[in-house]
Amino acid sequence: MKLQVAAFLSFLIMPYALADDQGGLKKDVAPPPPHAIEDGYRGTDDAKKMTIEQAKTLHDGATVSLRGNLIDHKGDDRYVFRDKSGEINVIIPSAVFDGREVQPDQMININGSLDKKAKEAVVRVSRLQK
């Protein structure tokens, strides 16, 4: 009986032991070219769709919501995000990934604030949705 309980408990704990806690961008797959990026079905309708080109024209501190692909990891929390209209640097803390992995060919949504204090505009991401 004790052996059965021990076996049962080990099966409950096993998924946590095998889970990858490293999340982030995995560059196993090449991103699609900008002209081939398609929305696809997301399950929700965004009332306000925005492109990177439109986001760059907004004021410093503006809230942005973008749909596209993470295509490169520049080190630390810095990444390059691309949609049909262009590319922008983004800062995504590991807490935002929450252990999830993102491939360059996966369409994602990011929400955050636009930071235009630096030479180039940067989006500080607070939410990421696959």
Beta carbons of 52 and 127 less than 8 angstroms apart:
no
- Extents of the domains making up the chain: 23-39+47-129
Tokens of 82: 């691309």
In sequence order, what are the beta bridge partners of 39? none
Q: Return the amino acid letter for 80.
A: V
**pTM across the whole model:** 0.67
CATH architecture of 23-39+47-129: Beta Barrel (2.40)
How does pLDDT run across 74-97, given as a tens digit for each residue?
999 999 999 999 999 999 999 999
How does pLDDT run across 4-52, given as a tens digit for each residue?
777 776 766 666 555 555 667 777 777 777 766 655 554 444 446 799 9
CA–centroid distance for 100 within its chain: 9
SS3 label, residue 32: coil
So what's the pLDDT on residue 29?
74
Tokens of 91: 């800062």
* Distance from C-alpha of 34 to C-alpha of 123, rounded to nearest angstrom: 19
